[in-house]
Homo-oligomer: A and B are copies of this chain.
Amino acid sequence: MKKVLILLGCPESPIQAPITLYLSYKLREKDYRVTVTANPAALRLLEVADPARAYLDKTSDLDSTIDSLSKAEYDLLFGFIHNDAALTYFITFKSILEVPSIAIIFGRDAEIIDTLEKEVKENTDSHIVSVRAHHNPNPLKVRIDKLLEELED
């Protein structure tokens, strides 16, 4: 069974927690083992939204995860990136894991998205999903559905 790590940014985006639960659900349907790592507030949002644990598998605190992370500990890395802090964590996780990775870049500001995208391209060989989205999760959901279809091949 393949292991996926999903890395979240800070919790201020209203679409991050909903889309994370959706992605976790879809990956588990494909028999991935899913671990979500984030700061405590972002994890609490997920846990409150999923009280019966219908969608989440494992969750783990960001700083303790990074402290004990080793090469190829997971088979695939997803990162939700909507600011510099999340970008920095993503590059760090990617450089330690050295596994295929997918950067999900989103937010309301097209310029910030462009900058984040450029940084991910310069610093990693990640597959990039980049969408202007803040309140409405649909544009991001559509792109993630497409990505998940390609994962199957």
- Interface residues of A, Cβ cutoff 8 Å to B: 10-19, 21-22, 25-26, 41-42, 44-46, 48-52, 54-55, 134-138, 141
User: In the complex this chain forms, how many copies of it are found?
Assistant: 2
Q: Is the CB of A13 within 8 A of B14?
A: yes
Bound Cα distance A134, B11 (Å) = 9
Whether A11 and B135, one on each chain, are in contact in the complex, defined by CB atoms closer than 8 angstroms, is: yes
Q: In the complex, what distance in Å separates the CA atom of A75 from the CA atom of B81?
A: 43
Do residues B11 and A12 form an inter-chain contact, with CB atoms below 8 A?
no
Q: Nearest chain B CB to A30's CB is how many angstroms away? A: 14
Chain B residues with CB under 8 Å of A136's CB are: 11, 41, 44
Chain B residues near A12: list those with CB within 8 A: 14, 134-135
- Chain B residues near A19 (CB-CB < 8 A): 48-49
Q: Which residues of B contact A41 (CB under 8 A)?
A: 135-136
Q: How far is the CB of A127 from chain B (nearest CB, A)?
A: 21
Give CA–CA (A47, B130) in the complex, Å: 22
**Is there contact, CB below 8 Å, between B14 and A11?**
yes
Across the interface, do A49 and B52 meet the contact criterion of CB distance under 8 Å? no
